[in-house]
Amino acid sequence: MIRLKRSERVAALLKILSDNPNQIFTLNYFSELFGAAKSTISEDVGTAKGVVEQMSLGSIETIPGASGGVKYKPLASNEKSIEFLKMLCEELNDYTRLIPGKFLYMADIICDPTVAARVGEIFATKFMDKKANYVVTIETKGITVALMTARALNIPLVIVRRDSKVTEGSTISINYVSGSSHRIQTMSISKRSLPPGSKVLIIDDFMKAGGTAKGLLDLMAEFNSEVVGIGVLISTDEPEEKMVGDYYSLLKLKQVDELSKQIIIVPSI
């Protein structure tokens, strides 16, 4: 048992909640931890809730009932999200990121924990009400943003592989057609990784024609799982018609010109 002043309790409470987003903590937990009455803890929660909402840092939600408690939801405000995405565009529009073949180097950005965490919070805010049980992504570059989305939602991450591994055990594999190259490729997933009938959220780093997303949709159908949303960090302007109809993109790649060394990426929310 730890005896703390009120300001210290509020600080500790905020730290615990923000480190464990969307996880419910009972008032009994904090009462025993801080050696304070439930009524006192309720006042502390009210203070913490006011600070979080005033600073647009998300929200603290109280759940009534015997199994209730309090949890932190890392909601990203629209204003702060747009501001962050504009900053991200400035970094990505640097022509030195161009790689021969009109590819864009962005591994350093999406592997930055701060950036990935912010992107994850934006996705979590968008899909919070979809009640997904799992976040699903395909290896490899989308893993960081998918993991941070899963953390913000407090649900497991499932990684689909392009080649099956012995360590995965029994797998389900499907062939799919790449939307950009029109080549037949393979993706696989362990049978143990996803219970049938799950609600899944697909998160990836990039979408051109949507072939990979369509493959993931087909793969989820093999588990009788419902895809409640598709989120991508960057989607391209062309082709306009994607192989999936309903997706949420944070950034739009409008132009890549190797001759003029120009990249144009803009926020799409």
On whether both 108 and 39 belong to a single domain, the answer is no
Q: What is the CATH number of the domain that holds 172?
A: 3.40.50.2020
On whether both 156 and 63 belong to a single domain, the answer is no
Confidence of residue 180 (pLDDT cuts 50, 70, 90): low
- 16 or 167, higher pLDDT: 16
Q: Are strands 103-104 and 98-99 parallel, antiparallel or unpaired?
A: antiparallel
- Residue 204 forms part of a structural domain: yes
Of 169, 171, 174, 197, the residue nearest 186 (C-alpha): 174
On whether both 49 and 116 belong to a single domain, the answer is no
Q: Which domain holds residue 138?
A: 78-267
Q: Tell me how far apart the alpha carbons of residues 207 and 61 are, in angstroms, rounded to a whole number.
A: 34
Q: What element of type H or E holds 256?
A: strand 248-257
Q: pLDDT (tens digit, 9 = 90+) per residue, 16-75?
A: 999 999 999 999 999 999 999 999 999 999 999 999 999 999 999 999 887 789 999 999
Confidence check: pLDDT of 203 > 70: yes
On whether both 175 and 56 belong to a single domain, the answer is no
Q: Is the pTM of this model over 0.85?
A: yes
Q: Tell me how far apart the alpha carbons of residues 134 and 113 are, in angstroms, rounded to a whole number.
A: 21
Last residue of a domain, one of 58, 73, 88: 73
On whether both 133 and 14 belong to a single domain, the answer is no
Q: Tell me how far apart the alpha carbons of residues 51 and 28 are, in angstroms, rounded to a whole number.
A: 22
Cα 87 to chain centroid distance, Å, stands at 19
Range of lowest pLDDT (4-13, 94-103, 177-186, 189-198): 177-186
- Residue 1 forms part of a structural domain: no
Confidence of residue 1 (pLDDT cuts 50, 70, 90): low
Q: What is the CATH number of the domain that holds 57?
A: 1.10.10.10
On whether both 228 and 243 belong to a single domain, the answer is yes
Q: What are the two backbone dihedrals, phi and then psi, of residue 146, each rounded to the nearest 5 degrees? A: -65, -40
Q: pLDDT (tens digit, 9 = 90+) per residue, 72-123?
A: 999 999 999 999 999 999 999 999 998 887 788 999 999 999 999 999 999 9
On whether both 213 and 161 belong to a single domain, the answer is yes
On whether both 11 and 91 belong to a single domain, the answer is no
On whether both 53 and 159 belong to a single domain, the answer is no
Last residue of a domain, one of 73, 94, 112: 73
pLDDT computed for residue 183 by the predictor: 84
Range of lowest pLDDT (121-125, 191-195, 232-236): 191-195
On whether both 108 and 206 belong to a single domain, the answer is yes
| DSSP letters spanning 74-105 | -PPPHHHHHHHHHHHHHHHT-GGGEETTTEE-
- Residue 254 forms part of a structural domain: yes
Confidence of residue 181 (pLDDT cuts 50, 70, 90): low
What is the tally of structural domains in the chain? 2
On whether both 157 and 234 belong to a single domain, the answer is yes
On whether both 154 and 238 belong to a single domain, the answer is yes
Confidence check: pLDDT of 177 > 90: no
Last residue of a domain, one of 73, 103, 123: 73
- 250 or 4, higher pLDDT: 250
